[in-house]
Amino acid sequence: MKTNARLDFTDVWTETADGKIEKHERRIFQPEDFVVNIGPQHPQTHGVLRFRTAI
């Protein structure tokens, strides 16, 4: 199964000492993590909320 590795990253914005805003990419899950999807738990909340966690 092929996965989208981009889902394992998020963007982080920081302000430098001189006031500039910089964008950095941060890895959320490591390649060795076992990622589990949690939710939605009720059919009426389909697509509204999605949690991912690593074991």
DSSP code per residue over the chain: ----GGGGEEEEEEE-TTS-EEEEEEE-S-TT--EEEE---SGGGTTT--EEEE-
Where along the chain do its domains lie? 5-54
| Overall pTM surpassing 0.75 (yes/no) | no
Q: What is the pLDDT of residue 44?
A: 67
What confidence tens digit (pLDDT) does each residue in 7-24 have? 678 899 999 999 999 999
Instruction: Specify the range with the lowest mean pLDDT, choosing from 8-17, 26-35, 36-45.
Output: 36-45
pLDDT band at residue 1 using 50, 70 and 90 as cut-offs: very low
